[in-house]
């Protein structure tokens, strides 16, 4: 294993980014992904439910939870990015992954504010009381689509380039009888 590859698998700070072979970033991303997917389900359900107000309100707060979770995941992910040698395909993929995630998080934060301050707090005018308006719903849908692309890039970092994944000799320990 080359020195650069060895370094890309080691944490910058095991306390902050997770120990060797067990990074915190992949664990932390479950929070924003889950919250934002659930918020989309709530958004869509609000368009069909007879009393959609609680769904729109729940969606708004799921978005806020997702933004906070994304900020925590970003801190650990940023430390993981530091371990990748600059100028490599893995580093460029990491930069694109990070950039997309920053755009996504900013879009969700804007969507949260839109729902707080928009017409009837983000609900559609002239529709069932509390139904999520089309604008915030489309913003969330577009952000979720970008999240899929970013997740693909994160998977490429881990499964193709092996960033922060233990080397094969260490992995082999899990297959010994």
Domain ranges of the chain: 3-167
Model confidence band, residue 36 (pLDDT cutoffs 50, 70, 90) = very high
- pLDDT for 6: 65
Amino acid 83: pLDDT: 87
pLDDT at 122: 47
Question: Which single residue is written with the structure tokens 């580093």?
Answer: 91
Residue pair 139/111 in contact (Cβ under 8 Å)? The answer is: yes
pLDDT of residue 78: 93
pTM of the model: 0.86
Q: What is the mean pLDDT of residues 50-78?
A: 96
Can you give the pLDDT at residue 22? 76
From CA 100, how far away is CA 95, in angstroms rounded?
9
Could you tell me what percent of the chain has a pLDDT over 90? 66
pLDDT tens, position by position, 93-152: 999 999 999 999 999 999 999 999 865 544 555 445 688 999 999 999 999 999 999 999
Confidence of residue 170 (pLDDT cuts 50, 70, 90): confident
Q: How many CB atoms lie within 10 A of CB 145?
A: 11
């Amino acid at each position: 294993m080359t020195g650069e590859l060895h370094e890309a698998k080691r944490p910058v700070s095991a306390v902050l980014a997770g120990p060797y072979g067990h990074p915190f970033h992949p664990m932390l991303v479950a929070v924003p992904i889950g919250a934002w997917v659930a918020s989309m389900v709530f958004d869509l359900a609000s368009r069909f439910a007879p009393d959609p107000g609680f769904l729109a309100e729940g969606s708004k707060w799921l978005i806020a939870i997702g933004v906070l979770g994304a900020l925590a995941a970003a801190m650990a992910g940023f430390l993981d990015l530091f371990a990748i040698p600059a100028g490599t395909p893995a580093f460029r993929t990491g930069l694109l992954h990070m950039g997309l995630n920053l755009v996504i998080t900013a879009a969700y934060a804007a969507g949260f504010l839109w729902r707080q301050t928009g017409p009837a707090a983000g609900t559609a005018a002239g529709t069932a009381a509390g139904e999520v308006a089309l604008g915030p719903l489309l913003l969330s849908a577009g952000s979720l689509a970008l999240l899929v692309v970013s997740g693909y890039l994160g998977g490429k970092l881990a499964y193709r380039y092996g960033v922060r994944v233990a080397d094969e000799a260490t992995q082999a320990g899990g297959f010994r009888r």
